[in-house]
Structure 1
Amino acid sequence: MRAAIATGEYHLGGETFINRHIEHLFGGNTVVVCGRFRGDNPYGKPYFVRRDGLSGRDIMVAPWWLLRNRLEHGTSRLPFGEAKDALVKFLRDERVDVVLAEFGTQALALAPLANALDIPIFTYFRGTDASKAIRTERMRSAYRKMMPRLAGVFSVSRFLLDNLAKHGITHPNSTVIPSGVDIRRFAPQAKVPLSFLAVGRFVEKKAPMTTLRAFATATRDLPDARLDFIGDGPLLEPTRALAEELGVSDKLRFHGAQPHNTVRDRLMSTQFFMQHSITARDGNTEGLPTAIQEAMACGCITVSTRHAGIPEAIDEGETGFLVEENDEDGFAEAIASAIAVPDLPAMSARARHVAEERFDNHVLLKVLERHIQDALLLTPSGADQRLKRAPA
């Protein structure tokens, strides 16, 4: 089976879950449809760039198509004109049997075309696309129109599916499959006592300054405690300034953005992982953070929040500790509780065991393939009808 993986940008090193699909889904029998090509094709895949510029003819007819697509489908993202013809040719030339649109917003652009070509299309909700993206009725309406066009829906967490359902956006074939982690590469090593790590963009949703203040409070009498921050973003410098203000700069190291291998190496020897995720003012939420899954695979004890899909990963008091969003005092208490666990190696081992049971991405990839194949068995025409499809 040959799958087209539809994504916004290709290649993004940080999108490990999408990259795994591109490299390994159905034995790597994949092509890529992207909105933007970033100049790197590490897997040597055939790819098509949807936004590679409009021809003169398409520019002339663009206003008509944008209006028509907005009225009919609730979105103006759909390809049209010569760009659409080129995409149709690509999908046919590459003999694509199924489309997996990473993020619901990608499915909006491709579902009508896939239907016209009789190519089953699935989408994978991961966070922003099922939180911030649905704050407007226009987008909610577009999703409602899209759902009947899909052969199935996947999500990294039950939270995201429930969030969509609150707005009447549902699909009868919906399945929760976490993004997962390579548990063979992310594995525990000897832990450095009182080592803490926070990984992620310095943005509102990650609340880095709340994390810092809670750490400073919880480790006030622990001079050997150390917190490493990996990531960059608009709140990086304010967080550095706060560290100076609190007088804890000697306990902190800011590493900036780092390659995935560097994150892995740090996680393997870290004792406590912290992520104070919150719902941003624009409605943006997590799905189920990959960093938490990776931390558990490395045997880190996680201190986080009851946010989005995080409670679906952390068993409170067994593999980590959770508090409400924006509860800085509670977060400090949770950090102190983690430090005071009587048998830290046992809790670390439980975290690793849960990661092995729930988040092995090799197993989860097979689960995804099976769900796609099972859904296609219910498709009236079947994938073997691809060559008989009429032009869109």
Structure 2
Amino acid sequence: MRAAIATSDYHVMGETFINRHIAHLFDGNTVVIAGRSNGEDPYHKPLFVRRRRLSAGDMARLPAVSVWNRARHGTSRLPFGSARRDLLAFLRSENVDVILAEFGTQALALAPLANAAGIPIFTYYRGTDASKALQSKRIQRAYRLMMPRLAGVVSVSQFLLDNLARAGVTHPNAHVIPSGVDVRRFRPGEKRPGSCLAVGRFVEKKAPLTTLQSFVDATRDMPDARLDFIGDGPLLEDAKALAERLDASDKVIFHGAQPHDAVRERLETTQFFLQHSVTAADGNTEGLPTAIQEAMAAGCITVSTRHAGIPEAIDEGETGFLVEERDAEGFTAAIRSAVTAPDTDAMATRARTVAEERFDNDRLLARLEDMIRETLTPGGV
């Protein structure tokens, strides 16, 4: 089976879940449809870039086409004119059997065209597309109109499917399949006692200032405790300033953005993974953070929040500790409980076991392939 992987930007190093589909879905028998390309093509796949300069004729037609598509489909993002003809020709010439649209917003642009071409299309909801995007009534309507056009829907967490359902967006062939992690590469190493790690963008959704403050408060009498931050973003300078004010520069290290291999190496020797995820003011949430799945595979004990799909990954008291969103005092207490727990070795072993059972991305990729095949087989799902 030959699959077209549709994404907004190609290639993005941090989108490991999409890159894995491009490289390995159906034994790598894939092509790529991208909104934009940065010029990097590490997988050497046939590539179609949707966003291109419009011809004079298409530019003249754009206002009328946009109004028509928004009325009929709830979105004006659909390709039309020469872009539509060229994409249809690409799908035919590449003998594409199925389209997997990464993120629901990508499916909005492609579902009508896929139907016109007679090619089944699936979409994969991952976070923002089933949280922040749903703040728009227009997107809710567009999703509802799109559902009958899809052969199936996948989400990284039940939380996101429930979000969609509350907006009246449901599909009879919906499945929860986390992105997963390569448990053969992410493995426990020799742990440094008292070591903590936080990975991610310095943005509101990750609440890095809460993580920093709670770590310092929880470990004031633990001079060997250390917190490493990996990532950058708009709140990075605020976090550095807070570390200075707390006189914690000797135990809190900011590494900035790092390659994925550097994250893996750090996780191997880290004992505790901290992530105080919250719902941002604009409604943006996690799906099920890949970083937490990677941390569990590396035998880290996670301290996080009851946010989005995180409770679907963490067994409280067995593989980690969870508190309510924005509960800074509770997060401090949870970090303290983690670093003073008498059975950290057992918790770390359990975290690794759960990652192998639930988040092995080889197994999850096989589940996705099986679901697609069963859906497209006469008499299947």
TM-score, reference length from structure 2:
0.99
**SS of equivalent residue, structure 1 residue 345:** helix
The aligned counterpart of 1:163 is: 163
CA RMSD of aligned residues (A): 0.9
Q: Distance in 2 between matches of 1:35 and 1:321?
A: 39
1:283 equivalenced with 2:280 (yes/no): no
Q: Map of 1:259-338 to 2, 5 A cutoff?
A: 259-338=259-338
The aligned counterpart of 1:385 is: none
The aligned counterpart of 2:203 is: 203
**SS of equivalent residue, structure 1 residue 141:** helix
Give 1:378 shift: 3.9
The aligned counterpart of 2:131 is: 131
Give 1:163 shift: 0.5
Q: Map of 1:173-184 to 2, 5 A cutoff?
A: 173-184=173-184
Structure 1 segments unaligned to the other structure (5+ residues): 381-392
**SS of equivalent residue, structure 1 residue 59:** helix
The aligned counterpart of 1:383 is: none
1:229 equivalenced with 2:229 (yes/no): yes
The aligned counterpart of 2:75 is: 75
Q: Which deviates more from structure 2 when the two are superposed, residues 304-313 or residues 339-348? A: 339-348
Q: Aligned AA for 1:82?
A: S
Offset from partner CA, 1:203-255 (integer Å, 9 cap, x none): 00000000000001000100111100000000000000000011111111101
Q: Distance in 1 between matches of 2:341 and 2:214?
A: 18
Structure 2 segments unaligned to the other structure (5+ residues): none
Offset from partner CA, 1:275-317 (integer Å, 9 cap, x none): 0000000000000000000000000000000000000000000
The aligned counterpart of 1:388 is: none
The aligned counterpart of 1:144 is: 144
Q: Aligned AA for 2:296?
A: M
1:41 equivalenced with 2:31 (yes/no): no
The aligned counterpart of 1:384 is: none
Equivalent residue pairs, number: 380
Q: Aligned AA for 1:116?
A: A
Q: Map of 1:64-143 to 2, 5 A cutoff?
A: 64-143=64-143
Give 1:60 shift: 1.2
The aligned counterpart of 1:387 is: none
Q: Distance in 2 between matches of 1:157 and 1:268?
A: 26
Give 1:64 shift: 1.1
Q: Aligned AA for 1:167?
A: A
**SS of equivalent residue, structure 1 residue 250:** coil
The aligned counterpart of 1:215 is: 215
Q: Distance in 2 between matches of 1:15 and 1:309?
A: 18
Give 1:379 shift: 8.3
**SS of equivalent residue, structure 2 residue 221:** coil
Q: Aligned AA for 2:217?
A: T
Q: Aligned AA for 1:91?
A: L
**SS of equivalent residue, structure 2 residue 285:** coil
Q: Distance in 2 between matches of 1:74 and 1:117?
A: 20
Q: Distance in 2 between matches of 1:214 and 1:307?
A: 18
Q: Aligned AA for 1:257?
A: A
TM-score, reference length from structure 1:
0.96
Q: Aligned AA for 1:359?
A: F
**SS of equivalent residue, structure 1 residue 78:** coil
Q: Which deviates more from structure 2 when the two are superposed, residues 245-254 or residues 299-308? A: 245-254
Percent of aligned pairs with the same amino acid: 70
1:172 equivalenced with 2:172 (yes/no): yes
Q: Distance in 2 between matches of 1:319 and 1:212?
A: 22
**SS of equivalent residue, structure 1 residue 106:** helix
Q: Distance in 1 between matches of 2:59 and 2:250?
A: 57
**SS of equivalent residue, structure 1 residue 153:** strand
Q: Distance in 2 between matches of 1:264 and 1:168?
A: 39
Q: Aligned AA for 1:74?
A: G
Q: Distance in 2 between matches of 1:97 and 1:186?
A: 33
1:32 equivalenced with 2:32 (yes/no): yes
